Amino acid sequence: FRMFQQLFLIMQAFGKAFHIVLLMGLLVLILDYVIAIMLTQAIGHDPTWQGTAEEDKIQMYFGSIPNSMQTLFVIMTLTAWDQVSEVLVTQWPPMIVYASLVLYIMVTSYTMLSLITGIISESLITAQQEYRLRKEKTMEEKKKDISFELRQFLLSDCLEEDKDEHNNVNTNDLKTAMRGDTELLMKLASINIHVTEQAILSLIDKLATNEIVNIDYFVDKLLNLVGVATASSVMDMKYEISKLNLKMDAIMAELKIDPSAATGAGPAPKPAPKPAEVAVSMGMTRSHEKSDRSGQKPKFAD
């Protein structure tokens, strides 16, 4: 089915880019129509072509607006531009004829084709990114559902009587609950976590500390065995920080330490002086300065 997924992405990208391609086609059509009017007036109705050997070809190429548009379309597809140029150079300067043909071909053929190719490619890349994001979102939702079901099974149904207040259980009890659970292995495989029962039991032994395992830690570790390269390490750090916070709370409770003192907040700052006190202090300072200069003691008003 992967082949059909790729085909679906290509069709989806082409469908999104199709309306832009139609607008560009309409732009080329308008450009050809304007140029066809000019060529019909300047070449098709030019009396200098009358009586010449190329008169019939000029009428076939530029005798009317539809004929001129057809000729422009043929030139745009690089089919018979050399034949048209051979007829035109008999009456027009070759430099002007070839320069005009090259400019028209570059604008309508190469540039438009490159733009259409770029638009379709960009649409295909966008469709692939949207498909990948949808798939990742679906996998994340499945992972959350499995995590909730596994926690519900271990905490409420299987190990409710054996866990403590921090959801810690004995490793043997957890191994007993995990043995023979083929449904869990199938659900893990649905989110690209392919493990065996022996691997789960080995994971329990790895996470155990003094024969004790935290259920939340075990579930998060199990569901992040596959994924982002550092997802499992993040789970380790998360629960190490949680354990350290619990230890710090227990030590602070035993020592009866104020949390503000433990965080190093220090004593409360002194209140800011009032404006009147500041003014009096400044007045006193100025009076002392004057007395120092005159040698007299300062006098204060009551």
pLDDT in tens, 277-301: 444 444 444 444 444 444 444 443 4
Residues in the chain: 302
Query: pLDDT per residue over 242-262, tens digit each?
Result: 777 777 777 777 776 555 554
pLDDT at 221 over 60: yes
Bridge-partner residues for 169, per DSSP?
Answer: 213
φ and ψ at residue 167, rounded to 5 degrees: 60, 35
Q: Which residue has the higher pLDDT, 269 or 63?
A: 63
Mean pLDDT of 100-108: 91
167 vs 215: CA distance, rounded Å: 6
Mean pLDDT of 27-45: 92
Percent of the chain past pLDDT 90, that is, above it, reads: 15
pLDDT value of position 236:
61
How many Cβ atoms are within 10 Å of 131's Cβ, its own excluded? 15
Q: Which residue has the higher pLDDT, 12 or 129?
A: 129
Instruction: Say how far residue 281 (Cα) sits from the centre of its chain.
Output: 62
114 vs 108: CA distance, rounded Å: 10
Assigned token pair, 269: 């700052």
Query: pLDDT per residue over 184-220, tens digit each?
Result: 888 888 888 888 888 888 888 888 888 888 888 888 8
Bridge-partner residues for 212, per DSSP?
Answer: 170, 209
Q: Which residue has the higher pLDDT, 40 or 116?
A: 40
